[in-house]
């Protein structure tokens, strides 16, 4: 499947051809991924680009088709693409499977196979949705606009896991959290570089009062700090950071942290913005090929009902244009279109408020396309 309009002109006079591995995901995911594809096709028409899509299976759909959450053939499609746009995976249908066969295992293998060691998740509240935040108005008015840079393929999620039986007959479980200096340095450097592009504030979140891994993180970050003297650098224990995100989120610009802490904090941060249906994410490695997805799940409870919010996936497509394809103007167009739709009071159920117009997933896609 591809979309092209050869008569259109881009703002740079360059027509680009990009190959996108498209993982439609499970349950309600294909519904919102389809809206993101429609937006990408509109961008292709407007700027004269060609986007070629390769249908790729991962998660539950891959289990159904291949008996494996990520066969090598599907990973190869991702590795041969310019980037990957993905819906959410998993659902009740596959929850009883053994660990290696679970839908979510495919995602971990995809990240590792693509060498995606950095997950960037923005926590930004749109001005039109301030009332949707669970935080007090006095807190929200100070602003919520920060990004969590999370190490993605190390730590406890990729360490050794084992369960043994002690001589007493009692079971004991062990999960290791390994980190090497080069793993910390490459994600730490991205944290500093991201801060340089924003408000030049970086907070490293750890548990250095308890964990050796955290103490090594600080040692490496202190070395990196010397390379970025313009960045205001600080450190915070993860338990305190969890509290500060809901107490005073305006203090944060960029947070860099390890895999487990980043997983938890980024989910917390998404909630204070009003709806997880608005938050995209990107996962990147050494090159420009990335994995772009919404942060929310596959919504099995409303699958097929045209109720899910597609905005997070549409914004994820915009992030792909910006960070993997160097299409800043095109990405700006998508963000402006989303903002214009919100200005008009058009809402899906998760962000609905009094006086606004309720639409479904396709209706939101239609409204955004109209603004493009």
The reported pLDDT for the residue numbered 276 is: 84
Indicate the pTM of the whole model.
0.84
Per-residue confidence band for 8, with pLDDT thresholds at 50, 70 and 90: very low
Residue 308: helix, strand or coil by DSSP? coil
Task: Tell me which residue has tokens 């027509």.
Answer: 15
Q: Looking at per-residue confidence, does 5 or 346 come out higher?
A: 346
Establish whether 64 is a catalytic residue: no
Please identify which of the residues 157, 179, 233, 292 carries the catalytic annotation: 157
pLDDT of 3 > 60? The answer is no
Among 41-55, 74-88, 271-285, where is mean pLDDT lowest? 271-285
The reported pLDDT for the residue numbered 10 is: 43
Q: How far apart are CA 40 and CA 46, in angstroms?
A: 10
Per-residue confidence band for 108, with pLDDT thresholds at 50, 70 and 90: confident
pLDDT of 9 > 50? The answer is no
Q: How far apart are CA 144 and CA 183, in angstroms?
A: 29
Establish whether 15 is a catalytic residue: no
Among 1-5, 116-120, 265-269, where is mean pLDDT lowest? 1-5
In tens, the pLDDT along 275-331 reads 888 999 999 998 899 999 998 999 999 999 999 999 999 999 999 999 899 999 999
The reported pLDDT for the residue numbered 2 is: 41
Q: Following CA atoms 251, 137, 119, 153 in sequence, which dihedral angle do they give, to the nearest 10 degrees?
A: 90
Mean of the per-residue pLDDT values of the chain: 93
In tens, the pLDDT along 201-211 reads 999 999 999 99
Among 96-110, 142-156, 181-195, where is mean pLDDT lowest? 96-110
A 10 A CB-CB count for 21 gives 27
Phi and psi angles of residue 111, each rounded to the nearest 5 degrees, phi first: -60, -45
Per-residue confidence band for 12, with pLDDT thresholds at 50, 70 and 90: low
Residue limits of CATH 3.40.718.10 in the chain: 1-114+289-372, 132-273
Please identify which of the residues 68, 82, 263, 333 carries the catalytic annotation: 263
Establish whether 333 is a catalytic residue: no
The reported pLDDT for the residue numbered 97 is: 87
pLDDT of 103 > 60? The answer is yes
Q: How far apart are CA 48 and CA 4, in angstroms?
A: 6
Q: How far apart are CA 21 and CA 313, in angstroms?
A: 15
The helix (H) or strand (E) run that includes residue 246 is helix 238-247
Establish whether 157 is a catalytic residue: yes
Among 20-24, 101-105, 190-194, 265-269, where is mean pLDDT lowest? 101-105
CATH of the domain spanning 132-273, picked from 3.90.660.10, 3.30.70.640, 3.40.718.10, 3.40.50.2300? 3.40.718.10
Please identify which of the residues 145, 267, 350, 366 carries the catalytic annotation: 267
Residue 205: helix, strand or coil by DSSP? strand
Among 2-11, 88-97, 182-191, where is mean pLDDT lowest? 2-11
Per-residue confidence band for 127, with pLDDT thresholds at 50, 70 and 90: confident
In tens, the pLDDT along 133-185 reads 899 999 999 999 999 999 999 999 999 999 999 999 999 999 999 999 999 99
C-alpha dist (Å) from residue 100 to 58, 63, 103, 234: 13, 11, 9, 39
- Where helices occur in 21-154 by DSSP H, the ranges are 29-47, 60-66, 72-79, 103-113, 137-140
Task: Tell me which residue has tokens 């389809």.
Answer: 34
Please identify which of the residues 212, 239, 332, 343 carries the catalytic annotation: 239
Mean pLDDT for 247-255 is 97
Contact at 8 Å (CB) between 26 and 59? Answer: yes
pLDDT of 94 > 70? The answer is yes
Q: Taking the CA of residue 319 as centre, how many other CA atoms within 13 Å lie in the half-sphere pointing to its CB?
A: 25
Percent of the chain, pLDDT > 90? 81
Q: Cα 325 from chain centroid?
A: 17
Q: Looking at per-residue confidence, does 194 or 242 come out higher?
A: 242
pLDDT of 107 > 50? The answer is yes
Per-residue confidence band for 96, with pLDDT thresholds at 50, 70 and 90: confident
The set of residues, in sequence order, having a beta carbon less than 8 Å from that of 136 and lying 6+ positions away, is: none
The reported pLDDT for the residue numbered 372 is: 95
Which numeric CATH code is attached to 1-114+289-372? 3.40.718.10
Mean pLDDT for 1-11 is 40
Please identify which of the residues 207, 306, 344, 366 carries the catalytic annotation: 207
Establish whether 124 is a catalytic residue: no
- What tokens were used for 213? 């891994």
Contact at 8 Å (CB) between 110 and 247? Answer: no
């Amino acid at each position: 499947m591809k979309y092209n309009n050869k008569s259109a002109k881009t703002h740079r006079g360059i027509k680009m051809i990009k190959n996108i591995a498209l993982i439609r995901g499970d349950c309600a995911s294909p519904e919102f991924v389809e809206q993101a594809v429609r937006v990408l096709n509109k961008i292709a028409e407007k700027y004269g680009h060609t986007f070629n899509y390769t249908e790729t299976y991962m998660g539950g759909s891959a289990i159904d088709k291949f008996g494996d959450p990520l066969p090598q053939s599907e990973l190869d499609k991702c590795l041969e693409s310019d980037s990957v746009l993905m819906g959410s995976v998993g659902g009740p249908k596959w929850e009883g499977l053994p660990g290696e066969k679970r839908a979510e295992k495919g995602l971990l293998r995809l990240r590792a196979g693509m060498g995606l060691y950095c997950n960037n998740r923005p926590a930004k509240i749109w001005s039109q949705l301030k009332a949707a935040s669970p935080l007090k108005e006095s807190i929200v008015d100070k602003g919520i606009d920060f990004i969590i840079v999370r190490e993605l393929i190390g730590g406890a999620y990729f360490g050794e896991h084992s369960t043994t039986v002690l001589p007493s007959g009692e079971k004991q479980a062990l999960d290791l959290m390994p980190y090497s200096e080069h793993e910390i340095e490459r994600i730490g450097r991205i944290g500093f570089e991201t801060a340089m592009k924003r408000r030049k504030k970086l907070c490293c979140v750890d548990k250095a009062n308890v964990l050796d891994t955290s103490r090594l993180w600080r040692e490496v970050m202190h070395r990196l700090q010397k390379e970025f003297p313009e960045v205001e650098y600080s450190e915070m224990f993860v338990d305190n950071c969890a509290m500060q995100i809901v107490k005073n989120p305006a203090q944060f610009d960029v947070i860099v942290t390890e895999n487990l802490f980043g997983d938890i904090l980024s989910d917390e941060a998404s909630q204070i913005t009003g709806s997880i249906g608005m938050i995209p994410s990107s996962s990147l490695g050494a090159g420009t090929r990335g994995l772009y997805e919404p942060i929310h799940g596959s919504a099995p409870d409303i699958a097929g009902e045209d109720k899910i919010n597609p905005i997070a996936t549409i914004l994820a497509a915009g992030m792909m244009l910006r960070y993997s394809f160097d299409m800043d103007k095109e990405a700006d167009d998508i963000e402006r279109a989303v903002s214009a739709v919100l200005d008009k009071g058009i809402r899906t159920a998760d962000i609905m408020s009094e006086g606004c117009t309720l639409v479904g997933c396709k209706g939101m896609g239609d409204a955004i396309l109209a603004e493009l």
